[in-house]
Amino acid sequence: MTPVSQRRQPYKPIDVLIDEVKIQRRVVELGIQITRDYAGREPVLVGVLKGCLVFMSDLIRHINLPLEVEFISAASYRKGTKPDKNIEIADAMTIDLKGRDLLVVEGIVETGRTVDRIVKRLKELEPASVEIVTLLDKPSAHRPAIEPKYKGFKLGNEFVVGYGLDNTQKYRNLPYLGRVSESR
């Protein structure tokens, strides 16, 4: 067997954009804000897989409410960093969402098409309310009329990885947000 040191390194170097401490501080703030806004209620946090993975697990630990969690998955079948038109939605939800206060948890919103599709799907289930919380907001020119109520950080037009976000399924396990460095 090839020793680890001699195997091809799977990751390219990453330039750190938002470090762990900064992310954690912002997640705490979002948790406090949501706790305040939903006081007296029992929201269902609906995570959009797979990008919500790390953000959602941190966020729920800073929301002091009797919340519940669900997951829905959206695959946009983009190769690398190029956007693609096909969004496929799937879920295996077990909680009856009728009359519930839903908070859709996304890692990143770009055109908003993915989250827009998800919100439409969830509204068919007749919830009491639906809001969006996204760690990253990357407003693009072609955005439909959707506006996340809770946003962690605003980004320009750059592709980021880490903290749950991938590039062709890799880098989700990085504890910070970064840019794949092409120059090194």
Q: Does position 37 bind Mg ion by CB under 5 A?
A: no
Cα diameter, the chain: 58
The entry of Mg ion, ligand IMP, none that residue 118 binds, CB within 5 to 8 Å by partner kind: none
Residue of 27, 103, 109, 130 that binds ligand IMP (CB under 6 A): 109
> Sheet harboring 68-75: ordered strands across?
88-91, 68-75, 44-49, 101-109, 129-137, 150-154
Which string of DSSP letters, residue by residue, matches 155-167?
--S---BBTTB-B
Residue 73 found at the interface with Mg ion (CB under 5 A): no
Q: 37 or 116: whose CB is closer to ligand IMP? A: 116
**Is 137 a residue that touches ligand IMP (CB under 6 A)?**
no
CB of 159 to Mg ion, least distance (A): 10
Is 110 catalytic? The answer is: yes
Give the number of residues in contact with ligand IMP, rule: CB under 6 A: 14
Write down the catalytic residue from 110, 124, 147, 158.
Answer: 110
Catalytic (active-site) positions: 110
